Structure 1
């Protein structure tokens, strides 16, 4: 993989205008060669590493490389009779900088649409990786489903049955792909927890024929119906995932 990338870098470099080559060449060698990288921590620099691929950070050549990689992917897809749906292909720049390198990319001479967020496998990835759009989406969707569940299940008197319906149709939405999009900000966490609080109040009404008073302790509701907060469940999911991924491969059956 490293040698292939080097060859591609050399081809692109030779294809650049001569003025670019002159500015990027020292003693007959491209600035892509003999580069050193290092990581500093607490003002200490342990050692240098010579990268076998890529280009220096901040260079426009990485954008040119990406376009060539896209072309190679298209060629491979055509060769293997796997046509691409260009209408579903987008360009997203993941950064929090106000000013960044924004170039146009194309597939089969069709320019790709640049957007600030894209949905992949049911998760909305925004350009800043805040997941605000996705959390707002699943919160709205879960509230609609919860309203449907409450309307249709008013005649149910069994608490456990109602809990199973909630787990299947509402909580599954709130916890989908939680490994990827664990909320960090309080407003995001509260938006998700609000959906569960509404359901717990409905359970309280079903059990006691009266809704809890405004400001009723949320921890008491959780304890009364044997619930855990969504934040705690996400934490446990992360722990289980870390435990599973840290196991030696030979111990996995």
Structure 2
């Protein structure tokens, strides 16, 4: 679709159509918007979350772990001369862990395969941090507390529980989501 903006320039807008369903037989409806047909796509990046038409988050988890590995590689390459471990941890928390936590309430993995993909990033950082501290790589032992490997997963669970509490107490107004809860409140 081509529009003109107020300054007289031409703005090209691409129309995309994505159908979210878990059904194998997708109902295909042809949309026509002022003579333009939208292109069909199977995945779309919306607010940093990779949405797939099959409503699975395997692609998103692969996407964010790939980005996290790239950023972690950047940190490792550029902090070899650092002597302050807290600065390295701060970079990791700011640039990598925040990417792994972003919108985790929405896409939190339940399968071990996807949990392990996230843990691989954390383990790689732990090995690098161990090397920075002791000037040797140790494959059998690394400092798990230094990466917050377990607290990352517990933070995701905490985020889910806080959302649930706000939903129940009415701080978040979503009647359709609230109706999906199977709740039994004692007298």
* TM above 0.5: yes
Is 1:201 the counterpart of 2:123? The answer is: no
2:3 is matched with which residue? none
Alignment equivalent of 2:55, drawn from 126, 129, 149 = 129
Q: 1:154-173 CA deviation, whole Å, 9 max, x = no partner?
A: 11122222111101111111
1:243 is matched with which residue? 165
Q: 1:164-206 CA deviation, whole Å, 9 max, x = no partner?
A: 1101111111111111111122211111111111001111111
Q: 1:47-100 CA deviation, whole Å, 9 max, x = no partner?
A: xxxxxxxxxxxxxxxxxxxxxxxxxxxxxxxxxxxxx9740x322221222212
- CA–CA distance in structure 2, aligned partners of residues 120 and 186 of structure 1: 25
Is 1:186 the counterpart of 2:112? The answer is: yes
1:154 is matched with which residue? 80
Q: CA RMSD in A?
A: 2.0
Higher relative contact order (CA 8 A, sep 6+): 2
What is the count of residue pairs matched by the alignment? 160
1:227 is matched with which residue? 148
- CA–CA distance in structure 1, aligned partners of residues 149 and 73 of structure 2: 21
- How many angstroms does 1:112 deviate by? 0.8
- CA–CA distance in structure 1, aligned partners of residues 39 and 106 of structure 2: 25
- CA–CA distance in structure 1, aligned partners of residues 39 and 138 of structure 2: 50
Normalised by the size of structure 1, how large is the TM-score?
Answer: 0.58
- CA–CA distance in structure 1, aligned partners of residues 17 and 12 of structure 2: 14
Q: 1:194-219 CA deviation, whole Å, 9 max, x = no partner?
A: 11110011111111111112xx25xx
- CA–CA distance in structure 2, aligned partners of residues 198 and 117 of structure 1: 29
Any conservation in 2 of the 1:90–1:114 contact (CA below 8 Å)? yes
1:140 is matched with which residue? 66
Normalised by the size of structure 2, how large is the TM-score?
Answer: 0.77
Uncovered stretches (5+) of structure 2, i.e. residues with no partner: 1-10, 172-187
- CA–CA distance in structure 2, aligned partners of residues 177 and 85 of structure 1: 30
Q: 1:29-50 CA deviation, whole Å, 9 max, x = no partner?
A: xxxxxxxxxxxxxxxxxxxxxx
- CA–CA distance in structure 2, aligned partners of residues 233 and 85 of structure 1: 42
- How many angstroms does 1:245 deviate by? 3.8
